[in-house]
Chains A and B, each alone.
Chain A
Amino acid sequence: MAYLDHAASTPMLPEAVAAVTAAMASTGNPSSLHTAGRRARRLVEESRESLARSLGARPSEVVFTGGGTESDNLAVKGIFFARRAADPRRTRILASAVEHHAVMDAVEWLVAHEGAQVTWLEVDDVGRVHPESLKRALDDDVALVSVMWANNEVGTVQPVRALAEVAHEHGVPLHTDAVQGVGQLPVDFADSGVDALTVTGHKFGGPLGVGALLLGRDIACTPLLHGGGQERDVRSGTVDVPGVAGLAAAAAVATERQPETAARLSALRDDLVARVEAALPDAVLNGDRGPGRLPGNAHFSFPGCEGDSLLLLLDARGVEVSTGSACSAGVARPSHVLVAMGAEEDRARASLRFSLGHTSTSADVDELLDALPAVIDRARLVRR
């Protein structure tokens, strides 16, 4: 078996498993005032401080959530509502054309139900937003900008710091979905200059279903979940104590090891890319060939094949990969990311993502390369 889908979910780190397990064994609602409550509260706050340290934020800037989608929705909708409330002219959202659906669909919902306008920022042929494009699109009517830290499909790293500077010249806050970045790239909230940053545990060795929004202290954000006012009055709901303990433990390990992880995965990935290109000369690598790419990401189009067929055939041979995008019914649509990069629909449907993570070894790459040529031959028969 070769698991090459770490960008979907990567195995939990032992430190995170230990932290979750320990927290699960103790009682207490962190909002309760008695001893058990205080103990739970202490664990939440220590987790908050730890996560803040790992990501270059202040503890008060950490808002725990139920994961990446919730963090993205909270940032996009919450900041939009607050900025529009302060000035009703601010109804426009600028977001890159390669955002994850958690951002894209939240924006589309605001367009459909709240009278928002959207300008999708163009990307170049590797999927990168240029600060010049953002500069041209900024105006007094802009409520917020959202550009991801690194793309989940093709791995392209965005110039988030430069984009935040441009946005700030117009006094506009910038949100970034950094779900794919943590553990692979140096992600430092303060240093990046962004105003809101999404992370989720299961992409860097933490548990599923828990994440955070790092939210600058001066950034107003209208709550979406109302209730007990936990999490800075921005996100109500009893905090998932074992979840945040695991999230913080994983972030500590993943960020500490980030430089060596990046070096190791880059080398492994470069080997994978070179071997795929050698075995299959017409394979097209999508995304950036240089350093501006997630270390664990390789993304190819295989002309004449459908990603669906490739996935099925590789799965049958014990190699687990992704086409990069799937809706809830599991029906593959041509990737909006590749389409935004200028790919024809055929090339967009012919693509596969291989993503490496902390447990990946060269044996995984060997297994992929053993299976891939025959799979490509077979998949080509499917297309007429």
Chain B
Amino acid sequence: MKVLAAMSGGVDSAVAAALAVDAGHDVTGVHLALSEAPATLRTGSRGCCSKEDAHDARRVADVLDIPYYVWDLAARFRADVVDDFVAEYAAGRTPNPCLRCNERIKFAAVLDRARRLGFDAVVTGHHARLADGVLRRSVDVAKDQSYVLAVLTPEQLAFAMFPLGDLTKSEVRAEAARRGLGVADKPDSHDICFIADGDTAAFLRSRLGDQPGPVVDALTGAVVGRHDGAFAYTVGQRRGLALDVPAGDGRPRYVLSLSPAERTVRVGPVEALDVSSVRATSPVWTSGPRALPLACDVQLRAHGEVHGCSVAAADEGWQLLLTTPARGIAAGQAAVLYDGDTVLGSATIASAA
């Protein structure tokens, strides 16, 4: 097959491209330039798309002896991922930009362009297994990325290849070293690629400005503190609240909900974070629709724990009843349904109670 390998400059996508070459595919490497003002050099494990990353990807392509190009998707990335990220926080939700990037950039803009150019598949270095349209967790549970891929439709997955699903991260590194790829020891990337210093609150403040308001005790209705912007908080957060009024019972308080329209952050005791009912919208079935109601597992945040649940149809999506309570569930994250390690589908969390 003629396949397009998305090459970030990291070790995962390098080995994925190498495995595609080994499998006998006609591979072309593409580095996605996602930043409109790329830095010259990488700094640590944060940031992405520096010229050094593009150089690293090019060197891997050289060693694999495959063509290599850079595609400029910075404007699309800004509109579909960065602006969306800011708008979601401004609306009091907690978005997952990696998921959005997969949904709108890698397996939409890139995949679409690749198909039109005559490619048969897009190869990425995601840690997940995909065979016969069935998406499963990686054998490396710690590195599993099926959660951020669960937003993909069967049509998108039909053009995707994830060659790394049967390898652990350390096996990927060993494979890179065996092939003499310079990126074998390159540090893993962490955090949000477009927030180079990792300070999400400062990034949001620079985009949204200060939006001061009260911190309210959800039980008593009393104002117990002030904040500079509800966007800087996440449901379930305990640290950094700087409350003026201690709780009556002396126990720590947590962020329970955010109301950006009223610029209000509501706090309360830890039990109030427990939810057993989740409403989720914009559902996607990974390998075709399942009959509802459905008993399965659900994961409610990236790297979060798995809960048993029953899924029932609801307006614009699903109503999930959890068999064990989940704590600190934020709107905007994905609810991903699993049967064992097989992804069934996903939807966006709208509310939880």
Contact = CB atoms under 8 A, between A and B. Distances in A.
Tell me whether A and B are bound partners. Answer: yes
Interface of A: 308-309, 311-313, 315-316, 328-332, 378-379, 381-382
A292 B118 CA distance: 39
B116 A329 contact: no
A332 B117 contact: no
| In the complex, the 5 A-B pairs of residues with the closest C-beta atoms, listed nearest first | A330-B70, A381-B116, A331-B72, A382-B116, A329-B54
A312 B69 contact: yes
A330 B54 contact: yes
Contacts of B31: 330
B118 A378 contact: yes
Given A308-B69, A315-B67, A316-B67, A328 B117 contact: no
Interface in B50-80: 51, 54, 58, 67, 69-72
26 contacts: A308-B71, A308-B72, A309-B117, A312-B28, A312-B67, A312-B69, A313-B118, A315-B67, A316-B67, A328-B51, A329-B38, A329-B70, A330-B31, A330-B54, A330-B58, A330-B69, A330-B70, A331-B33, A331-B70, A378-B116, A378-B117, A381-B116, A381-B117, A382-B113, A382-B116, A382-B117
B137 to A, nearest CB: 34
Interface string B108-141: 0000010011100000000000000000000000
A327 to B, nearest CB: 9
A331 B38 CA distance: 11
B54 to A, nearest CB: 5
A313 B118 CA distance: 9
Given A308-B72, A329-B51, 4 more contacts: A312-B28, A312-B117, A332-B72, A378-B116
Interface residues of B: mostly helix, strand, loop or mixed?
mixed
A381 B69 CA distance: 19
Nearest to A333: B72
Contacts of B28: 312, 316
Range, interface on chain B: 10 to 19
A331 B75 CA distance: 12
A379 B118 CA distance: 9
Nearest to B68: A330
B104 to A, nearest CB: 15
Contact of B33 (A313, A315, A329, A378): A329
Contacts of B51: 328-329
Contacts of B70: 329-331
**Residue in A311, A312, A378 with the greatest tally of chain B CB atoms within 10 Å:** A312
Contacts of A308: 69, 71-72
A228 to B, nearest CB: 30
Nearest to B54: A329
Contacts of B58: 330
Contacts of A313: 117-118
B324 to A, nearest CB: 47
Nearest to B30: A312
A80 B33 CA distance: 36
Contacts of A329: 33, 38, 51, 54, 70
Contacts of B72: 308, 331-332
Nearest to B33: A331
A329 B38 CA distance: 9
Contacts of A381: 116-117
Contacts of A382: 113, 116-117
Contacts of A316: 28, 67
A381 B58 CA distance: 27
Nearest to A374: B118
A44 to B, nearest CB: 35
Contacts of A315: 67
Contacts of A332: 72
Contacts of B33: 329, 331
Contacts of A311: 69
A330 B38 CA distance: 12
A225 B223 CA distance: 66
A381 B118 CA distance: 10
Nearest to B71: A308
A330 B67 CA distance: 13
A328 B71 CA distance: 13
Nearest to A313: B117
Nearest to A330: B70
A74 B306 CA distance: 65
B36 to A, nearest CB: 10
Nearest to A311: B69
Nearest to B38: A329
Interface in B119-169: none
A96 B58 CA distance: 34
User: Which has the most chain B C-beta neighbours within 10 Å: A313, A378, A379, A381?
Assistant: A381
Contacts of B117: 309, 312-313, 378-379, 381-382
A311 to B, nearest CB: 8
Contacts of A379: 117
